[in-house]
Structure 1
């Protein structure tokens, strides 16, 4: 029953029937309060509806529990960190991204969202440096990897 109900709610969300999905997921979350997967999907549907504050406790419940696939756990970290940042809870967002990167070292998505949190914390230099390093690692600097890698650590260097 739980699996069928969860599959139906996820399908509703994917079909764009987000309010129906939210209703179904809230009912599931009430029936299965310790189910990390249900909590994760409940957080995602709230985020997709622009209900960031309501998503936070479900993300926290998902990350505190067991049973998430690595991909869903990564998604929950990314979603919660991003949501905290959007809500202006930048210090919490940065701490969460540090924790997430311990579990998923080097993940590019986490690093991009962490750079946004750095920017919001007033650490623009660190944010730009982090993004430049990501571009170099991804090979997206048109043959200028060496120069961009150097300046990623030396942004203030000018003639």
Structure 2
């Protein structure tokens, strides 16, 4: 029953019936308060509806629980940190991104979203450095990968 309802709610969210998915997920979350997967999906649907304040506690519950697949755990860290950033809770967002990066150290999405929180926290140099390191890890850096990597840590260096 739980699995069928959860699958239906995810399908509804994906198809654009987000309010209906939200109602179904809220019911599931009430009946399964310790279920990390239900909490994650409930957070996600609130997030896509622009209900970040409501999403945050569900992300917390999802990350505190057990049983999330690694890709969902990564998504929960990304969503939670991003949600906190949107709410103006920059230090908490950075802490969430750091926790996520402790588990997924090279994830470019987490690092990119963290750079936005760094910028919002008034740490522009660190934000740019973080983005340059993400860029250096992609094909887009091309023949300049070595230089981009170097300058990520030496932004103010001149001759």
Q: What's the TM-score once normalised by structure 2's chain length?
A: 0.97
Q: Which residue of 1 aligns with 2:138?
A: 138
How do residues 58-137 of structure 1 correspond to structure 2 at under 5 angstroms?
58-137=58-137
Q: What's the TM-score once normalised by structure 1's chain length?
A: 0.97
Counterparts of 1:119 and 1:51 in 2: how far apart (Å)?
23
Structure 1 runs of 4+ with >6 Å offset: none
Post-superposition CA distance 1:69-92 (Å, at most 9, x none): 011011001000000011000000
Segments of structure 2 that go 5 or more residues without pairing to the other structure are: none
SS in 2 for 1:20: helix
Segments of structure 1 that go 5 or more residues without pairing to the other structure are: none
How do residues 17-32 of structure 1 correspond to structure 2 at under 5 angstroms?
17-32=17-32
Q: Which residue of 2 aligns with 1:148?
A: 148
SS in 1 for 2:141: coil
Counterparts of 1:133 and 1:27 in 2: how far apart (Å)?
42
| Aligned alpha-carbon RMSD (Å) | 0.9
